[in-house]
Structure 1
Amino acid sequence: MLNKSLRSLFALMVLVCGLGLASVSTSAMAADEQSSSQQAKAQTSEADLWRAVKSGESGYTTAQGVEPGVLINVVGEQGREVRNKYLTPIMALAVVGVFGAFLLFYFVNGPSRLSKGFSGKMVFRWSKADLIIHWCVAISCLTLIFTGLNIMLGKHVLQPYVGGDIWAALIYGSKTVHDWVGPFFLVAWAVLVIKWLPDQMLKSYDLKWFMTVGGYFNIGPLKGKHPDSGFANAGEKLWFWTLAIFGLFIGVSGVMMVLPNLDLPREASMAALLVHGISATLIIAFTIVHIWMATALSEGGMECMVSGYCDENWAMQHHNLWYDEIKANGTLKYREE
């Protein structure tokens, strides 16, 4: 009887322990499932958070200013890619390609020489004020071009071949000079545009100038064909309007980038950077063309911007309508020897 009771008690204890273990196991499994579910939700939530951050969505912050809640601004990265992938190579191509093309043209064609040679009589063309404003724009523009090219292309062209200290000095110096010369260029640019504007209006005969390439060809069917031109030829007018329009873009975008107190959104800052680079590329290309055509490709052309006078035969060949006009109205003035 006692043994039977003990066996019953033992069986009951085993049953209770089994039920307890089953309950514990079920609770543990439920707890594990809940923990796994929470971890999955946490991982999904974290992934969504960083996906939103990387896409440029804004959050909440107590910081003050423009776009303080945007941790990662995708516009900045997109702008950087556009600058490095497209703008920098195009700028390099503009410098090397345009210069190389005119160098080849010079060796094949040679300069545009005066068909009647130099007359020795110098005709008044530019006033002292014109010469001053021209060289103020020219020197400041060239300074900005060289420093700007170092800022954009220097890391590819110079940095690999110079020491770290030298490169640091070059890039810091370029940035400093660029920022300080910029305002001087803008003032000189504004004066030049206003003062020279009346002589830069396009005329019907300017189209023929482009069709004959200004009479600069010494070979082929265009050899010796000198088109009509007023005080400014069509090429000079094209250069003027390029400088006027894109100089304005450069000025506005430059001010946007330099002045820190403007507190602009990232989109505006990046747009200013890209507009500045595109405008600079166009002005650089046209500057190279202008320098080639005014110096090496035009016999007697440089003298105009040195003394303000040009040879009479040069005036008759390159600016015949202007020469005829000043001769007819009595304003033709020669330099006194």
Structure 2
Amino acid sequence: MKSFASMLFSAAMVCAVLFGSGLAMVHIAQADEAQTSIQQAVASQQTGIADMWRAAKSGQAGYTTSNSPFHGALINQYPAERLTYRSDYLAPAIMLSVFGVILIFAAFVAVNGPSRLEKGFSGVEIKRWSKFDVWLHWIGAIPCLLLILTGLTLLGGRYFIQPWVGEAGWAAIVNFSKQTHDVMAIPFIVGWFLMTILWMKNQFLASYDFKWFLVVGGYLNFGPFKGKHPDAGFANAGEKLWFWTFAFAGGAIVVSGIIMLFPNWVEPSRSLSMLAIIIHGASSVLIAAFTVVHIFMATVMSEGGMECMVSGYCDENWAKQHHNVWYDDLKRDNKLEYRA
């Protein structure tokens, strides 16, 4: 009996071990099956996400309750490198176009000196600009300067100003710059349009303009260039170059600025908006550099030049030295208007 009981106990233990092993194998199989299901679900989800992004990148429209013009576009489609153009290239470029050109011209004036009137001031002034032209010049010039300064701040300030003023100070500067930039854009657009249309007739190149460039307008006070006074009409070759730069680069600034300033009117795509930002910044680099040159030439380099855009009159000796063709034409036609 005892032996039979031992055998029965042993059989029971074997059955228990086998049953436990079977249960363990079932649990392991179920766990493997669950893990496989999870992996398949994750893979399916990843495939779905990848398919969604592929569709989005290809421009496939989605569905939304938004009423905006481009609500079907899930993500931006423009190349990612366009974002770096603004930060890595345009921001440093506009800084150089302003401060770099200022330093270059300051060094040039220190070495070369200004262009003096050989015969001094005559004390006789002749009319060069009408009162409307003088008014129009400043309507364009003052907003242009403010736009350059505020645009310089908005484009590159985070790299050159923000580290020095802190977050709160930077936020105030950005807000002021943005509001000023938007407001000054309107008179600039008006000034750009009127100046381009009304002053164009005097800005076409003549044969003597090429000689003007060869002697750098007679502004150099050394070597074979000293004392040279090349022919020039109402506008000399340098002023004509500035005018056409202002006309075309300014036009690019105006068009791209309107796209950014009035998005509800223009309704640009995201790619067009980014392109407008790039064009706006690149054109501003040109305008900023030429503006610095223009200011130096009118105030420092050309003795008696600034008076033209203050009163509209210029000294007669200044006209003979810097714009002799224009002066001779007026004198021949008896159209010289003297200041009383």
Distance in 1 between the 2:44 and 2:328 partners?
A: 81
Distance in 1 between the 2:96 and 2:85 partners?
A: 16
Counterpart of 1:275 in structure 2 is 279
Secondary structure at the counterpart of residue 79 of structure 1: helix
Distance in 2 between the 1:329 and 1:237 partners?
A: 24
Distance in 2 between the 1:45 and 1:323 partners?
A: 83
Query: Shift of the alpha carbon at 1:136?
Result: 0.7
Do the aligned residues in 2 keep the contact of 1:56 with 1:73 (CA within 8 Å)?
A: no
Is residue 174 of structure 2 the alignment partner of residue 175 of structure 1?
A: no
Aligned residues: CA RMSD: 2.9
Secondary structure at the counterpart of residue 123 of structure 1: strand
Query: Shift of the alpha carbon at 1:71?
Result: 4.6
Do the aligned residues in 1 keep the contact of 2:95 with 2:156 (CA within 8 Å)?
A: yes
Residue 212 to residue 45, structure 1, CA distance change in 2 (3 Å): farther
Counterpart of 1:63 in structure 2 is 65
Report matched runs for 1:179-258 at 5 Å.
179-258=182-261
Is residue 38 of structure 2 the alignment partner of residue 34 of structure 1?
A: no
Do the aligned residues in 2 keep the contact of 1:54 with 1:72 (CA within 8 Å)?
A: no
Residue 59 to residue 28, structure 1, CA distance change in 2 (3 Å): farther
Structure 1 stretch 78-87 or stretch 101-110: which is displaced more? 78-87
Is residue 306 of structure 2 the alignment partner of residue 302 of structure 1?
A: yes
Do the aligned residues in 2 keep the contact of 1:120 with 1:311 (CA within 8 Å)?
A: yes
Secondary structure at the counterpart of residue 108 of structure 1: helix
Do the aligned residues in 2 keep the contact of 1:209 with 1:228 (CA within 8 Å)?
A: yes
Do the aligned residues in 1 keep the contact of 2:86 with 2:155 (CA within 8 Å)?
A: no
Query: Shift of the alpha carbon at 1:267?
Result: 0.7
Consecutive unaligned residues in structure 2, runs of 5 or more: none
2:102 alignment partner AA = F
Structure 1 stretch 125-134 or stretch 150-159: which is displaced more? 150-159
Query: Shift of the alpha carbon at 1:163?
Result: 5.1
Query: Shift of the alpha carbon at 1:78?
Result: 3.7
Is residue 149 of structure 2 the alignment partner of residue 146 of structure 1?
A: yes
Query: Shift of the alpha carbon at 1:103?
Result: 0.5
1:301 alignment partner AA = G
Secondary structure at the counterpart of residue 90 of structure 2: helix
Residue 51 to residue 285, structure 1, CA distance change in 2 (3 Å): farther
Residue 169 to residue 13, structure 1, CA distance change in 2 (3 Å): closer
TM-score by length of 2: 0.87
Query: Shift of the alpha carbon at 1:183?
Result: 1.2
Do the aligned residues in 2 keep the contact of 1:257 with 1:272 (CA within 8 Å)?
A: yes
Identity of aligned residues (%): 47
Residue 56 to residue 113, structure 1, CA distance change in 2 (3 Å): farther
1:312 alignment partner AA = E
Residue 142 to residue 32, structure 1, CA distance change in 2 (3 Å): same
Secondary structure at the counterpart of residue 268 of structure 1: helix
Consecutive unaligned residues in structure 1, runs of 5 or more: none
Query: Shift of the alpha carbon at 1:73?
Result: 2.6
Say which of 253, 269, 294 aligns to 1:290. 294
- What is the count of residue pairs matched by the alignment? 335
2:339 alignment partner AA = R
Report matched runs for 1:315-334 at 5 Å.
315-334=319-338
Residue 47 to residue 206, structure 1, CA distance change in 2 (3 Å): farther
Q: Deviations over 1:56-112 (max 9, x none)?
A: 636734232344355543638543322111110111111121111101000000001
